[in-house]
Amino acid sequence: MRTRHVVGAVVAALAVPVAVALPAQSHGYISTPPSRAALCAAGTVKNCGAIQWEPQSVEGPKGFPSRGPADGAICAGGNSRFAELDDPRGGAWPTAAVSAGQRLTFTWRFTARHATTGFTYYLTKPGYDASRKVTRADLELTPFLNVPYNGTQVPSTLSHTATLPSGRTGHHVVVSVWEIADTGNAFYSCADVTF
């Protein structure tokens, strides 16, 4: 009888650290056009670190652009575990071909369907240097698309279509922010495009 109590106590003691060490059942990312996280998860881009196994986990403080991740850490949501997403790779991230004024659809995939404040989409300014980390100074801080969600829970996938701004040529980055309604966080997704 005493042996069963000891075995039960050992199992319980081992289960707690394992449960605490497991990552949260993460959240969401842009799959189309492929975000940096999606490219890493698909194996299209190598040497991505932990993001290749959890592209949905780029979570950081909400309130962008006045708050949120620091400049140079925006694509990783300020999360050092995913710093590879902020590495400009010499401007060599694969890009989706787009045109100024084009209607482009962004599709999010969600693994946890949070109540949502909304989604915002920012684009780098004309003359952006793709060999540098993304900073607020590189971005048009007025979003080219703002989708309020008013605390509604997202479905498993969700698409937004926007008209891309004019006046761009070459490699640019779209920074998308999914702001959660009931936590202090948001999810960040960077997609590289070529005009």
Average pLDDT along the chain, 195 residues, taken 10 residues at a time: 46 39 61 98 97 95 97 98 98 97 96 90 98 98 97 93 96 97 95 98
pTM assigned to the model: 0.85
Predicted confidence at residue 12, as pLDDT, reads: 42
What is residue 8's three-state secondary structure? helix
Is residue 16 classed as helix, strand or coil in its secondary structure?
helix
Q: What is the pLDDT of residue 136?
A: 98
Phi then psi for residue 7, to 5 deg, are -60, -45
CATH superfamily of 24-194: chitin-binding protein cbp21 (2.70.50.50)
